[in-house]
Amino acid sequence: MTDLLEAVQQSRPLLATLAGVAGLLFLIIHRRVNAFTALIGAALATGLAAGLAPAEVITSISDGFGGVLGFIAVIVGLGAILGAYLEASGGARALASAVIGRKDSAAASWAMGLVGLVIAIPVFFDVGLVLLFPLILSLGRKASKHPLYFGLPLLAGLAVAHAFIPPTPGPVAVAEILSADIGLVIVCGLAAGIPAMVVAGPVFAQISHARGWLPNPDFSQVEDDVDAGGVVDTSKAFTAAIAILVPVVLIVAAALASALGWRGALSEALAFVGHPFVALLIACALAVLILGADNEEDRVRLQDTLARAFEPTAVILLVTGAGGAFKQVLVDTGAGAMLAENLLGWGITPLIAGFLLALMVRVAQGSATVAMLTAAGLIAPVAAAAQMSGVDLALLTIAIASGASMVSHVNDSGFWLVSRYFQLSAGETLRSWTIASTLVGLVGFVVAMLISLFT
C-alpha cells in the first residue's frame, strides 16, 4: 500500500493533468462553457491538484497568458487591419476574379483553391467565404454545376491557410507556444498545405461531380446578376496580391537568412523587416497607400469593416492567452516532462502525439483554434524534452494544425456556415465539407511525416 501511495504521489502532476484535460472537455462539450473560461478553470484546477501553491498557480497562469499574448496580440491586430483593407477596398474579390479570368470550369475549380489559399492569409475563414461566395455562385451558374464544384476548392484553400500558414492566428499561436520559427512554419505549411488543398479541393470536387455525389444545382432563387455585390474592379488585383504576399515573403526571407547562417548588415536588416510585427506593419502601410479610401463613402465603408474586423479578435486573443496559461501550468507542475517521458518511452513521436491530441479535441468540441492551442500546450513539454530541431518544431506545428483541421461536423460553426451558404442539408454537408476537411488534415499530416523522415 505504501508503494502504491508513493507511486500515486510521484505521478500526481500527470494524474492532475489527465483529470484537468477530462474536465476541460466536459466543460466545453457537455456544459457548453466558453473555451476561455474552461481553459482558465482547467489551468487553475490542474495546478492546485498537481501540488502547486495557490500563489504559484496564479503566477504560472499570469506568466503563460502574458507570454503568449505579448507576441500574438500585435500580429492578430495588424492582420485584422490588413484583412479589413482588402475586404473594404474590393481587393480580395478583384484578386479572385483576376485569377479565375475566363478559365473553363475545370481550370476555374483549381484556381479557386489557389484563391482560397491566398485570400485566407490575411482574412478569417468565414470572411473569405462571405466575400467570395457571389463569385462561386456566378461560376456555378455559368457552368451549370452545383456551386460546391467551385466551393470545395475555395473552402479547402481557406482551411489550409487558416490552420497551416502564418500570419493567421492559429499557427502563429502554436508556433509561439512551441517556440517554432514562423518563417519555417510558413515554408512547411506551404509544403504540406498545397498538396492538402489540391486533394481536398479540386481533385475531390471533380471526383464528386463525376460520380454524382454533388447535389443537383438549383439556381431558381438566384438573381440574374449573382455577382451583385457591385462591379469588380480587377485593377486592384495586383495591389491586393502585393499587400498579401509582402509580409509572407519578408518573414520567409528572414527565416532562410537565419537558417543559412548569414551574417552582417544585410542579415540584420532582413531579421528586422522579416519579424512578423514589422512585416505586417509594412503590409498595412502598403494597404493604406494602395487600397485606401478615395472618397467619403469608401471611408465610411472602411471604418465599418475595421470595426467588424476587430470583433472576432477579442475571442481569439482570450482563448490564445488561456491556452498559453494552461501550457505554462503543465510546465511548472512538471506534468509536461512526465508526459514527454511516457510518450517517448512508448515510442510515440511528438508529431503523432500532437496530431492525435488535436484531432481528439477537434472532434470533441469543434473549434480548430481551440484544438490547436490545447494540443500545443500539452505537447510543448514533449517537444522540449525531445530537443527537436527548428524544422521539426515547424513540422510539429503543421501536424497539430492537421489534426485540428479534420472532421468538421455539427459542433463546428464552420460546418453550419457552409451548410447555410450552399443550401445543403446536414447529411449533404457531412458528405461534402466534412470529407473535404478530413482530407485536408490527413494529407497535411502525411506530408509533414514524410518531410520529417528527411530532416
The tally of CA atoms less than 13 A away on the side-chain side of residue 370 is: 27
Q: What is the pLDDT of residue 29?
A: 66
Phi-psi region of 166 (alpha: psi -120 to 50; beta: other; left: phi over 0): beta
Is the confidence at residue 227, as pLDDT, over 50?
Answer: no
**Distances from the Cα of 11 to the Cαs of 5, 54, 294, 343, in angstroms?**
10, 20, 64, 14
Number of domains in the chain: 1
Query: Which amino acid, one-letter code, is at 359?
Result: L
Model confidence pLDDT, tens digit, residues 316-339: 788 778 877 887 887 788 776 676
Buried/exposed code over 197-234 (b: 16+ C-beta within 10 A; e: otherwise): bbbbbbbbbbebbeeebbbebeeeebeeebbeeeebee
Asked if the structure places residue 7 within a domain, the reply is no
Buried/exposed code over 36-57 (b: 16+ C-beta within 10 A; e: otherwise): bebbbbbbbbbbbbbebeeeeb
Asked if the structure places residue 224 within a domain, the reply is no
The model's pTM: 0.79
Q: What is the pLDDT of residue 449?
A: 95
Q: What is the pLDDT of residue 98?
A: 78
Asked if the structure places residue 223 within a domain, the reply is no
Asked if the structure places residue 3 within a domain, the reply is no
Q: What is the pLDDT of residue 240?
A: 83
Model confidence pLDDT, tens digit, residues 136-162: 887 888 778 888 999 999 999 999 998
Is the confidence at residue 410, as pLDDT, over 80?
Answer: no
Query: Which amino acid, one-letter code, is at 225?
Result: D
Model confidence pLDDT, tens digit, residues 64-95: 888 878 777 888 788 888 878 877 877 777 87
Asked if the structure places residue 9 within a domain, the reply is no
Cell matching residue 358: 488535436
Instruction: Collapse the DSSP code of 218 into the 3-class scheme (helix H, G, I; strand E, B; otherwise coil) and give the result.
Output: coil
Q: Give 270's contacts (C-beta < 8 A, 6+ positions apart).
A: 250, 253, 254, 257, 262
Asked if the structure places residue 253 within a domain, the reply is yes
Model confidence pLDDT, tens digit, residues 262-272: 887 888 888 89
Q: What is the pLDDT of residue 233?
A: 60
Asked if the structure places residue 2 within a domain, the reply is no
Residue percentage of the chain with pLDDT more than 90: 22
Q: What is the pLDDT of residue 361?
A: 78
Residue percentage of the chain with pLDDT more than 70: 89
Containing structural domain, residue 83: 15-216+230-453
Residue-by-residue DSSP string for 239-303: HHHHHHHHHHHHHHHHHHHHHTT--SHHHHHHHHHTSHHHHHHHHHHHHHHHH---SHHHHHHHH
Whether cis (ω within 30° of 0) applies to the bond prior to 167 is yes
Q: What is the pLDDT of residue 219?
A: 56
Q: Give 268's contacts (C-beta < 8 A, 6+ positions apart).
A: none
Give 56's pLDDT tier (boundaries 50, 70, 90): very high
Q: Give 116's contacts (C-beta < 8 A, 6+ positions apart).
A: 128, 132, 153, 154, 155, 156, 157, 158, 159, 160, 161, 197, 201
Is the confidence at residue 244, as pLDDT, over 90?
Answer: no
Give 351's pLDDT tier (boundaries 50, 70, 90): very high
Asked if the structure places residue 93 within a domain, the reply is yes
| C-alpha torsion sign, points 391, 392, 397, 401 | positive
Q: What is the mean pLDDT of residues 432-437?
A: 94
